[in-house]
Homo-oligomer: A and B are copies of this chain.
Amino acid sequence: MDLEFVRSLIEPAQTKIVLMVLDGLGGLPREVRGPTELEAANTPHLDELAAEGICGLHVPVGPGITPGSGPSHLGLFGYDPIEYQVGRGVLAAMGIGFDLQPDDVAARGNFCTVDDEGCVVDRRAGRIDSETNRRLCQVLRDIRLPNVDVFVQTVKEYRLLLVLRGPGLSGDVTDTDPQATGASPLEPQPRSPRAEKTAALVGQFLAEAKKRLADQHPANMVLLRGFAERPDWPRMEQVFGVRAAAIAAYPMYRGLARLIGMTALETGEEPEDEVATLERHWDAFDFFYLHIKKIDSAGEDGDFDRKVRLIEAADTLTPRVRRLDPDVLAVTGDHSTPSMLKSHGWQPVPVLLWSRHVRADPVEEFGERACMAGGLGATLPATHLMPLMLAEAERLKKFGA
């Protein structure tokens, strides 16, 4: 079902939808036949929602596919993550909260070490610290290019972001990172005629960077990759008819939400702060994306017990969300981050959908195995959640007579 089809059925309504995303929610048991993190957690409020709602497991991108945070969120927002791909430069910009404009081209960069012949001897410049990085970015930021603004931002350690801003730029430029030591940095090449100007400007930038970094060993050169333009995607208000707000403490998620036209609300670091932000802005939006990050971090760290505790903390916040009286409330994760894997996983993700009229299923508990028997099925494509939320909010009209 494509976005155009859903868009053709949108009708106005006063209803409110909350999508709570517990990042990395899905898990795995620590021992055979043991519980997952979510199953081990004591979650009376989520269980109550599960009992009153309809449950299932969603597949973020496709069977067996482990998603990054960008694709997995886009799926939850109803955008097919295989069709709507974010360039890596754009992802890097979002990751540090850089507010990309439609005329921008972004690339990821590494400081690196080159020898006297100009060959790369260390692609990470001896892993310089962020402080050194910031000092060197200041040096690069002063480079001037004709008719183009240059932004150079520290990401972390040896990593940086380059953004060029001006008319007629294109992200269709090849990487300069040779991906190996012993080779020279590559010349940026246009992959299509429209990128010729951009490739030439990047070449000028790198030539100037080489001069200015010459005495900054080990960080005496820069490698660039993942050139990308800010994508021009349909906004949520256009396709789904909702004024949408993102409540997320981390820059990456705020940036992603802005790409599809959400308003990224100012909020604090903690989940409690985020719920307070939700309460404060309740009247101004129809759709709220509430992102709770640290559950994923516990999974990445392989810390089963901490992941359990953070899920329990999220559970205690749900009554505050319910007291706002949303018409539709969905709780899920963007992907699985089983602490046993210490990384994102491909496993389907528990999802519960509650509304005033929802057809409840027999599931009484919010957990991976309980959700397998739910009415949403054990392999719901993530992109189906958005039209289901809109339907439960009575925001989709009848198709055909």
Contacts and interface: CB of A to CB of B under 8 A. Distances in A.
This protein's copies in its complex: 2
Nearest to A392: B64
Nearest to A63: B384
9 contacts: A63-B388, A63-B391, A68-B399, A86-B400, A91-B401, A341-B357, A361-B369, A361-B372, A377-B379
Interface stretch (A27-35, A197-205, A299-307): A27-35
Interface string A364-382: 0000110011111111100
Nearest to A363: B372
A71 B369 CA distance: 32
Given A64-B387, A379-B377, A387-B64, A70 B401 contact: yes
A359 interface: yes
A400 B64 contact: no
A396 B345 CA distance: 10
A360 interface: yes
A29 B360 contact: yes
A48 B388 CA distance: 32
Contact of A64 (B374, B375, B388): B388
A33 B52 CA distance: 8
A67 interface: yes
Interface in A65-99: 65-71, 81-82, 85-86, 88, 91
A291 interface: no
The 5 closest A-B pairs by CB, nearest first: A64-B391, A64-B387, A68-B400, A63-B384, A71-B400
Interface residues of A, number: 65
Interface of A: 1, 5, 9, 28-29, 32-33, 36, 52, 56-57, 61-71, 81-82, 85-86, 88, 91, 338, 340-341, 343-344, 346-348, 357, 359-362, 368-369, 372-380, 384, 387-392, 396-401
A401 B390 CA distance: 28
Contacts of A400: 67-71, 81, 85-86, 91
B369 A372 contact: no
Given A374-B372, A376-B378, A377-B378, A1 B88 contact: no
A255 to B, nearest CB: 12
A97 B31 CA distance: 47
A33 B1 contact: no
Nearest to A387: B64
